[in-house]
Amino acid sequence: MSILDLDLSDAQEPQVAPANEEYKLRIVGVKVGVDKNSHDYFIPAFEIPDEPNYKEFSRFYGLPHKDMNPKQLNSCKWQLKSFFEAFKVDHSKKLNVENDLPGKTGWAILGVESVEEYGDKNYIKKLIKPK
């Protein structure tokens, strides 16, 4: 006897979005952690709204720390600034990224990379700053 009564005939394998195109993204969740060097980071997970067959993907954002040289620090700050601007996040005040980021939307040009363990996945090639 089955406890499930499901029609799975219309189920489709999730796909990656085609590369080098602009997509609206929505943040669906954020993981926060500390890496092996005791540096803080967050990883937002993204979906492409209204595209149920495209896979979700994520991106790592390390936070500035005292061990960074000036070039690393500038690069880190620029990545964070670009992310916050693309998703219209007010970074002038303290944020709780786990609570404040989910649901935010922004635009980006995506790429596709092959990962041996997981197959193809999308990544953000360029964030699009709102006009």
Domain hosting residue 72, numbered range: 22-128
Residue 78, domain member (yes or no): yes
Residue 1, domain member (yes or no): no
Closest CA to 64 of 52, 49, 51, 75: 75
- Residue pair 28/115 in contact (Cβ under 8 Å)? The answer is no
Residue 29, domain member (yes or no): yes
The predicted pLDDT at position 60 comes to 98
Reported as type and span, the H/E element at residue 100 is helix 97-100
In DSSP notation, 18-84 reads: PTT-EEEEEEEEEEEEE-TTS-EEEEEEEE-TT-TTBPPEE--EEPP-TT--HHHHHHHHHHHHHHH
**pTM greater than 0.85 (yes/no):** yes
Residue 6, domain member (yes or no): no
Domain count, the chain: 1
Residue 27, domain member (yes or no): yes
Residue 17, domain member (yes or no): no
Residuewise pLDDT in 10s, the chain (131 residues): 467 788 889 999 999 999 999 999 999 999 999 999 999 999 999 999 999 999 999 999 999 999 999 999 999 999 999 999 999 999 899 999 999 999 999 999 999 999 898 899 999 999 999 98
